[in-house]
Amino acid sequence: MVLSGCLLKVGVIGLSHKTAPLLFREEIAKGADALAGEKGRFFPHATVLLSTCNRTEVYFSADDLAQAHSDLLLFLRRHIKGAFEHRLYSYFNLDCFLHLCKVTAGLDSAVLAETEIQRQVKMAYARAAQNSSLPACLHFIFQKGLRVGKSARSKGNWRGAVSLPQTIWQIAEVFLDRMFSRKVLFIGYSEMNRTLISYFEQKGIDSFTLCTTNPSQVQVPYPCVDRSALEDWENFDCIICASLSDGYLIHERKGSKPHLIFDLSVPRNVNPELANIEFIELYNIEQLNHCIEGKQRAQIEECKRWEDSVRNHALRLARSYALRTSKVGMSGISGKGDDITDIFHACCKENESFESEAKTGVGNRSVLAQLQIPPIVGAV
């Protein structure tokens, strides 16, 4: 897709755990799935779909961002029932890039400084680049956004940060101490479940079973079963779900044995009505987020310092991008080939020298004024 005279002509529309409850996020995730993979080719604008348990965002690029934004809303209305626009947020141009940098750095996550979001953003970008021809500015914001996120984590002081595995274990430990067998079932061979299995092993839990759609393709040192085994899910004490499914994987109960269930999926894997049954403790991702948020209030100051660092790093990259594109011109660049690679490499080399120019006020002021890029402030 070719853009003429492009200077960060990007936008994003989405929602997260901060703007919408779980039920709402489920509906948006299902609707936005119509843009996933090769299906996204039928949409007239270049897009990158980022869909996680806590957020669904569509990044897009076009010469006319306002029109592309309207087209995207119209597209989503065809796939989502009921009103949803009031729950969405939108960012354009530089604000879009700054938002993505905060996301990749884990500053917009329920778990501050989480590393999983970095991998999720990288995979979303890779899938989009593989299935369609992305314009240069989308390549830029994702490549540099991932770089900013990685850099921020190396500088932030988050050794005492609250994590999702830690929160889940603190709840599970109390429950499993009352159980004789301490049997745990993990549903889905996702990155999250692999992390949790490792965490539980460190805590001394060794009775694991993994349930996945293709057990023959998974090499693990513990039992691995397919989804037909979920008919007997009540044989386990603790069940942790982090899998993709079109419907509920656990939807009814037959016995009366106590169970602890964590449903980390969006859309959900477990029928929420089970929470109303005696002796079943069911936690969804939203309830876990509330637990984490309460523990993270003490980290507000460190979060503010980190946000300033991420913002300043992103601004330096955006300024360098503005100067470089004003010199070489972006007309006709599709995001593939040596031209765009050279531009990205040149931007990286130029960053260090431009930092001193930005601080002293030297540089191409007309380009920066055109982009309305604010000055760098605070400590880096």
Q: Please report the domains of the chain, with CATH numbers, ordered by start residue.
A: 164-295 (3.40.50.720)
> Edge-to-edge strands of the sheet including 55-61?
46-51, 55-61, 10-16, 89-92
Q: Which of 40, 65, 36 is nearest to 52 (CA)?
A: 36
Q: What is the mean pLDDT of the chain?
A: 83
Bridge partners for 260 per DSSP: 238, 281
pLDDT in tens, 96-148: 999 999 999 998 988 777 888 999 999 999 999 998 889 999 999 999 999 99
Residues carrying an active site annotation: 53
Query: At residue 243, does pLDDT exceed 60?
Result: yes
DSSP string for 96-127: HHHHHHHHHTTTTSSSTT-SHHHHHHHHHHHH
pLDDT-based confidence at 343, cuts 50/70/90? Answer: very low
Residue 323: the pLDDT is 81
Average pLDDT over residues 166-173: 94
Beta carbons within 10 angstroms of residue 167's beta carbon: 19
The number of C-alpha atoms within 13 Å of 128 and in the hemisphere containing its C-beta is 29
pTM of the predicted model, to two decimals? 0.70
Three-state DSSP at 329 gives coil
pLDDT-based confidence at 352, cuts 50/70/90? Answer: very low
Average pLDDT over residues 333-348: 44
pLDDT in tens, 83-105: 899 999 999 999 999 999 999 99
Burial class (CB in 10 A: 0-12, 13-18, 19+), 343: buried
Q: Are 186 and 208 in contact (CB under 8 A)?
A: yes
pLDDT-based confidence at 306, cuts 50/70/90? Answer: confident
